[in-house]
Structure 1
């Protein structure tokens, strides 16, 4: 009976698609790509990105507050949280510009320029360490073992970090008014609004810097494994049969 069924069904040829390969066709490529995007650790990435942003801003805020207490501030100057926001953006390569109508612009107020120059020595390395550590930790947490998986996981850190940087650029603005500000120097005689350009913030602080540093951290998390595989292949090429005895 079984032989009769096999005879009626006939042998399976290579031209007939199997159940496993039937869904691997060309029409299913977009769905596979969509599944690969959905397979990224978005929740963990958003948390790691938010944590790295809060760590970056928090350490910078402490550095700016220490600088302000050391050098002193005038009445009516920018708050420490505003200066910390501008310093954080500056540490990502964003220029702090004054919106003025007079030719030649206006210099930064003393409090902001002091914060940018003094606290930079400490806080300039904070984004580098925070983002690289976030990429490293996320890849290790999600147990990614390939370069593609590590890069994909590291990129999920960017959206929440970008949102934090855009919020800083929008909220941390300071308007210098010489008529209302006492004890400050270096602001000029014009009313000036000091802020970070939004486009520059999105490009540098929100995309280029976090993506680069997070990917570097993610690749460092898997670096020993590709290196071990490479060394293992070279050992096998040098000694293809380590169990063989000499003279065989």
Structure 2
């Protein structure tokens, strides 16, 4: 008798997992968001950890104006880690609206361009790409996706957390340089910026700050939509390995 009840309970559990979520939608939106959020947090924390190691080994700019030299402050590790995260997705950076290379941003210890140890760049790439694929794979397995199309649809549901984080990072993870030494370094990295607008060379003072941060459009497009979607779909399709091969062979047979 107890075995019968156990079987009934398992059948009900299986049915509940197959019930469409979110008001009748066939997509597991909530479940995908959970998988995606876990992947985003894990990726960012990895970049943060390696960036903090790099920060401990990075010497900031020294401001030599005034009576005695003054050590300037490094860009906050939490900001530099966000830059490292976004840079891994191919996001560009800007200084007062002009392009600047991540590695040329002064006082910046982002792990992507300041690798703290051998193969740390490989680790960052593996974690950044691997977690997206793992999230896509996980949600496809969790929902027991039936066929490549269903797997791809499930994989897409992990993208929203990436989009949210990318948008927040683009607006929040910026920094402003106001020290003479850092402003000069930024001007050297971005020759198109006219130095007269930012410094008084004779007095060696800053007349206007320089704001540096990720490109908003790049962050949303590349780190929030395109690459997360592509890698998540690839991860989801891994669960359908044999079906994909069979479908490809059938397609070839149709063409021949």
TM-score range, shorter chain: 0.5 to 0.7
Q: How does 1:100-179 map to 2 (within 5 A)?
A: 108-112=104-108, 115-119=111-115, 121=121, 122-179=123-180
Q: Distance in 2 between matches of 1:110 and 1:196?
A: 14
- By how many angstroms is 1:88 displaced? 0.9
- Distance change (3 Å), C-alpha of 1:42 and 1:178: same
Q: Distance in 2 between matches of 1:109 and 1:205?
A: 20
TM-score between the two structures when normalised by the length of structure 2: 0.66
1:61 equivalent in alignment to 2:79 = no
CA RMSD in angstroms comes to 3.1
SS at match of 1:111: coil
- By how many angstroms is 1:76 displaced? 2.1
Q: Distance in 1 between matches of 2:224 and 2:100?
A: 27
Q: Distance in 2 between matches of 1:223 and 1:135?
A: 14
In structure 2, list runs of 5 or more residues that go unmatched: 1-21, 61-70, 188-194, 199-208, 250-256
Q: Distance in 2 between matches of 1:137 and 1:88?
A: 22
In structure 1, list runs of 5 or more residues that go unmatched: 1-34, 232-248
**Greater fraction of residues in strand:** 2
Q: How does 1:24-43 map to 2 (within 5 A)?
A: 38-43=25-30
Q: How does 1:69-84 map to 2 (within 5 A)?
A: 69-73=56-60, 75-84=72-81
Q: How does 1:220-235 map to 2 (within 5 A)?
A: 220-227=238-245
Does the CA-based 8 Å contact 2:156-2:229 persist in structure 1? Answer: yes
Does the CA-based 8 Å contact 1:76-1:180 persist in structure 2? Answer: no
Q: Distance in 2 between matches of 1:100 and 1:199?
A: 12
Q: Distance in 1 between matches of 2:24 and 2:88?
A: 31
Does the CA-based 8 Å contact 2:148-2:243 persist in structure 1? Answer: no
The equivalent of 1:212 in structure 2 is 230
Does the CA-based 8 Å contact 2:177-2:210 persist in structure 1? Answer: yes
- By how many angstroms is 1:226 displaced? 4.5
- Distance change (3 Å), C-alpha of 1:167 and 1:38: same
Cα deviation, 1:133-172, whole Å, max 9, x if unaligned, reads 1101111111113011101100011112100111111110
SS at match of 1:93: coil
TM-score between the two structures when normalised by the length of structure 1: 0.68
Does the CA-based 8 Å contact 2:74-2:109 persist in structure 1? Answer: no
Does the CA-based 8 Å contact 1:99-1:192 persist in structure 2? Answer: yes
Q: Distance in 1 between matches of 2:210 and 2:36?
A: 33
